[in-house]
Amino acid sequence: MAPSLRAGERAAMNRAWADAVAANPSLFDGPVVVCAGLDSEGPDGLVVSWSRTTYRYLALRRVPGAAPLPSLFVSVVQPTDDGRVVVGRMSSSTAAPGRWQLPGGSVEPPTGREPLDEAALRGHAALELAEETGLDTPPAELTRCLVTHAATGQIGVHYLAPRRPAPLLRERFAALVATETALGRDPEFDELALIGSPAELPGLTGPHVAYLEAVVSRHTAPLGGGRDRRRG
């Protein structure tokens, strides 16, 4: 059931959504999950209360005075075998063009009576990794490593993937971009970078998500000598 809105908020939300679609016709009002609560369960357990709604409701973030609905997203920390992590820049056809982030995206509600559990979140994270970088990783190989809660209410569940060689990452991404371009579609990432420390983030052209500095700091390791910062 979609969350209830206060008087006037629905009309303002619809106007904000119409403006967003006018600016980016690629946006669609598909299903998405919003959070109603977040609680811990045991040392490693996490209980998320959620509602089924559509992307239109996320436009409340653009409505002055409206309480934005906290969305749920997953992302994947993809390390290289030399201690860096993969970040991508969102393409112009996405909801956040030019923004750097980890591979990932908003969680969509399950179909039918399927549960929205840890296995479902891992599966969604693996799918996002494949769609945005070309890397096929079995969901069982992803390990939950961090949960973030932004000031806007967004809850992020971040997974750690096995290390991969940097040349393989570039090769898979280049193949994905070539395939999407041949099909007349824009890839979700228009650029990929391998980041070895938070000090490299200001060198990215464009903004990056708030959680990225903490994740990069936690999952990168110093390297001896020079660092190859070529982008894929």
Q: Which of 173, 219, 208 is nearest to 90 (CA)?
A: 208
What is the mean pLDDT of the segment spanning 119-148?
95
pLDDT of residue 167: 96
Residue range 61-75: mean pLDDT, rounded: 85
Please give the pLDDT value at position 162. 97
Least reliable range by pLDDT among 36-45, 47-56, 172-181:
36-45
The residue among 148 and 226 whose pLDDT is bigger is 148
In a domain, 28, yes or no: no
Is the confidence at residue 151, as pLDDT, over 80? Answer: no
> Could you count the other beta carbons within 10 Å of the beta carbon of residue 153?
16
Prediction pTM value: 0.87
For residue 229, pLDDT over 70 is answered with no
Q: What is the pLDDT of residues 19-34, one digit of tens each?
A: 989 988 888 899 999 8
Integer Cα distance of 18 and 130 in angstroms: 30
Query: Domain count of the chain?
Result: 1
What is the chain's mean pLDDT, rounded? 87
Q: Is the pLDDT of residue 95 over 90?
A: no
Res 224: pLDDT: 38
Range 59-82 average pLDDT: 88
Tell me whether residue 36 is in a domain: no
Helix ranges (DSSP H) in the chain = 9-23, 118-133, 166-182, 212-219
Tell me whether residue 12 is in a domain. no
Quick check: is 106 in a domain?
Answer: yes
Owning domain of residue 97: 71-219
User: 82 with 224: CB under 8 angstroms?
Assistant: no
Q: Does 81 reside within a domain?
A: yes
- Average pLDDT on 103-123 reads 90
> What CA–CA distance (Å, rounded) separates 56 from 21?
10
Q: In the chain, pLDDT over 90 holds for what percent of residues? A: 53
pLDDT at residue 222 in the model: 55
- Rounded-to-integer distance, Cα 196 and Cα 84, Å: 4
Q: How are strands ordered across the β-sheet holding 155-160?
A: 104-106, 72-77, 155-160, 143-149
Spatial separation of the C-alpha atoms in residues 59 and 12, rounded to whole Å: 9
Give the pLDDT band of residue 1 (cuts 50, 70, 90). low
Residue 182 lies inside a defined structural domain of this protein: yes
Range scoring the smallest mean pLDDT among 64-73, 92-101, 125-134, 172-181 = 64-73
Interatomic CA distance for residues 71 and 183, integer angstroms: 31
**Which pLDDT value is given to residue 200?**
94
Token readout for 48 is 């998320």
Residue 43 belongs to a domain: no
44 located within any domain = no
| CA–CA dist 124, 156 (Å, integer) | 13
CATH number of the domain bearing residue 151: 3.90.79.10
In tens, the pLDDT along 180-228 reads 999 998 999 999 999 999 999 999 999 999 889 988 988 886 543 334 3
